Amino acid sequence: MTRPRIGITLDVEPPAPGSAGGLLQIMKLPEDYAKAVAKAGGMPLLLPWTRDVGLQREMIDQIDALLIPGGDDIDPKLYGQSPHPKTKQIGPDRTAFDLAMLSLAEARKLPTLGICFGCQLMNVHRGGTLHQHIPDVPRESPLVHSKPGDRMNAHEVTLQRGSKLAAIMGGGQLEKFSVNSRHHQAVASLGHELVATARASDNIIEAIEDPTLPFWLAVQWHPENLTNTLHERLFEALIKAAGVHKISEPQS
């Protein structure tokens, strides 16, 4: 049986100064995402951005699950706010493409996993809002969610009992575990149909899901960097859900 095909969207950046190619943008992806998908049994397929609606539909028809990876910050106007001085906006082409792919995936009940930026975008897609700069959020016992230059800054999160995430990470028996943390933004108000499934000790939301869909889940941390740990279970669960979808939903 062929591997389930996991579509991964790409980051979009302006060309480097002095680079060949004139005004051509750069599309890229840290290799950890593709490696994590492949190790879990999936076939990673990289999805280049396009505003061609027909091509977007062809892309979604060719995959069995969607993964929205990390990136910079979402334009705050998409959730009704003005930019914070610390907000570093991601390119509009990636944002538009990822939102389009999320809409198509959602309509098909396609298994979807969001990571970091992907988590925030899935919330905004559903009408939710974000904390634009966590250090400015009033908290009783604030954690450091991001340390400059430290990609493995870590803290614990507490799982919501009965959630899909809790079932994935520990069969419903695990209450807390450590995550890596390098984000300065986070989910604030939840989008419609979404529930918070993990929180840090300062009550910052660290994971969300839609319990009405077979697999619509997102985390704020970076499981792709945590090989040979329980975090690989997230990718294994995505591949399993993609395999079920592949069998049960013939492609159009």
Question: So which residues are the catalytic ones?
Answer: 116, 222, 224
Residues whose CB is less than 8 angstroms from the CB of residue 75 and which lie 6 or more positions away in sequence, other chains included:
83, 89, 90, 92, 95
Q: What is the mean pLDDT of residues 136-164?
A: 91
**Single pTM value for the model:** 0.94
The DSSP-derived string for the chain is -PPPEEEEE-EEEPPPTT-TTTT--EEE--HHHHHHHHHTT-EEEEE-----HHHHHHHHHT-SEEEE---SBPPGGGGT-PPPTT--BPPHHHHHHHHHHHHHHHHTT--EEEETHHHHHHHHHTT--EES-GGGS--SS-----BTTBTT-EEEEEEPTTSHHHHHHHTT---EEEEE---S-EE-SPPTT-EEEEEETT--EEEEE-TTSSSEEEESS-GGG-TTSTTHHHHHHHHHHHHHHHHHS---
pLDDT above 80 (res 16): no
State the pLDDT at residue 140. 85
Q: Tell me the C-alpha distance between 103 and 97, whole Å.
A: 10
| Low-confidence winner among 14-18, 74-78, 100-104 (lowest mean pLDDT) | 14-18
Q: Grade residue 252 by pLDDT with cuts at 50, 70 and 90.
A: very low
In percent, how much of the chain has pLDDT > 70?
Answer: 95
State the pLDDT at residue 152. 83
Per-residue pLDDT tens digits for 32-87: 999 999 999 999 999 999 999 999 999 999 999 999 999 999 999 999 999 999 99
| Low-confidence winner among 5-14, 18-27, 95-104, 167-176 (lowest mean pLDDT) | 18-27
State the pLDDT at residue 209. 98
Q: Selecting from 3.40.50.360, 3.30.420.40, 3.40.50.880, 2.60.40.10, what CATH number does the domain 5-248 have?
A: 3.40.50.880
Residue ranges per structural domain of the chain: 5-248
Q: What is the mean pLDDT of the chain?
A: 94
State the pLDDT at residue 212. 96
pLDDT above 50 (res 111): yes
pLDDT above 80 (res 226): yes
Q: What is the mean pLDDT of residues 203-230?
A: 97
Q: What is the mean pLDDT of residues 110-130?
A: 98
pLDDT above 60 (res 21): no
